[in-house]
């Protein structure tokens, strides 16, 4: 396994690796924006950032209500709406830590252009909109919570792994692009936590979300590039990465 990778459940990080230039050394005092804050993992990120000392956390929701509390500022932001994204940039000019998270949802018409728009193009548009603010505020960091592939997608239908390949390629392209402006980029692979139909619900799942958030924020401070919630998430990422050339023409 790549030693630059940290998995939830591993207690120790590699300590002898050189510190890369894309490092967010401290969460305390940061101004964060978390999209999809109405979702379970989005809420966990909001709470975790506050606990780590963030000065302010914009909790962006596309519908319903997100978490509330001291240093939490609710914001209406639907990632699929250009108007909402533009308004969000104006409402949150001081952001230096962006957490892009989309709560999982079941496709209505099956995998297709709509899913590609939601998981790739909408994310790229949001990141590009907030990149100038991140640069202006010192570079900061982007935490990109990648969607989890549907379980058992390695059958005859290659549309799901093709979508995963597009997401991985998009995430790595964003990392290269933002590194030039001093923005650290962390990919978070939520595994079962990002599944549309999770096997587990309740306190155990909520606890897993909190642990993943703590590991993600620890990884930011340690200059990591990827965080995996579980072995399944790591295996899926490895499969997608290795299969990407063969899947590149699917879309």
Q: What is the pLDDT of residues 73-118, one digit of tens each?
A: 999 999 989 999 999 999 999 999 999 998 766 554 455 566 677 7
How many domains, in total, are found in the chain? 1
Q: Who wins on pLDDT, 113 or 138?
A: 138
More confident residue, 57 or 40: 57
- Comparing 20-24, 86-90, 184-188, which segment has the lowest mean pLDDT? 20-24
In a domain, 55, yes or no: yes
Look up the CATH number of the domain holding residue 155.
3.40.50.720
Contact between 117 and 124 (Cβ < 8 Å): no
The CA-to-CA distance between both ends of the chain, in Å, stands at: 29
Structural element, H or E, at residue 123: helix 122-136
The pLDDT of residue 96 is 95
**DSSP code of 199?**
S
Over residues 30-42, the mean pLDDT reads 94
Asked if the structure places residue 10 within a domain, the reply is: no
160-180 confidence digits (pLDDT tens): 667 777 888 888 899 999 999
Domain-embedded: residue 139: yes
Model pLDDT, residue 18: 34
In a domain, 129, yes or no: yes
The residue segments making up the domain with residue 35 are: 24-247
Strand 5-7 and strand 226-228: pairing?
Answer: parallel
Q: Does 3 map to a domain?
A: no
pLDDT class for 9, splitting at 50, 70, 90? very low
19 or 204: whose pLDDT is higher? 204
Of 14-23, 106-115, 202-211, which one has max mean pLDDT?
202-211
Residue 15 within a domain? no
Higher per-residue pLDDT: 120 or 97: 97
Kindly state whether residue 6 falls inside one of the protein's structural domains: no
In a domain, residue 69? The reply is: yes
**Is the confidence at residue 135, as pLDDT, over 50?**
yes
- The whole-number pLDDT of residue 17 equals 35
* Assigned token pair, 215: 């590991």
């Amino acid at each position: 396994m790549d030693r630059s990778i940290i998995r939830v459940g591993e207690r120790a990080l590699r300590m002898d690796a050189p510190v890369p230039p894309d490092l967010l050394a401290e969460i305390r005092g940061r101004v964060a924006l978390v999209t999809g804050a109405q979702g379970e993992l989005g809420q966990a990120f909001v709470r975790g950032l506050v606990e780590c000392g963030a000065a302010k956390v914009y909790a962006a929701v596309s519908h319903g209500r997100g978490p509330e509390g001291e240093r939490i500022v609710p914001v209406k932001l639907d990632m699929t709406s250009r108007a909402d994204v533009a308004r969000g940039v104006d409402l949150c000019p001081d952001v230096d830590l962006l957490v892009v998270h989309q709560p999982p949802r079941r496709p209505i018409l099956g995998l297709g252009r709509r899913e590609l728009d939601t998981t790739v193009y909408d994310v790229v548009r949001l990141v590009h909109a907030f990149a100038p603010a991140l640069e202006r505020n010192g570079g900061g960091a982007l935490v990109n919570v990648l969607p989890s592939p549907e379980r058992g997608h390695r059958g005859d239908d290659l549309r799901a792994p093709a979508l995963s390949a597009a997401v991985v390629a998009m995430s790595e392209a964003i990392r290269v692009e933002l590194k030039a402006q001093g923005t650290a980029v962390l990919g978070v692979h939520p595994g079962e936590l990002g599944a549309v139909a999770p096997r587990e619900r309740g306190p155990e799942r909520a606890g897993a979300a909190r642990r993943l958030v703590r590991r993600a924020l620890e990884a930011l401070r340690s200059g990591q590039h990827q965080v995996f919630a579980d072995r399944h998430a790591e295996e899926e990422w490895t499969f997608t990465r290795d299969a990407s050339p063969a899947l590149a023409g699917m879309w």
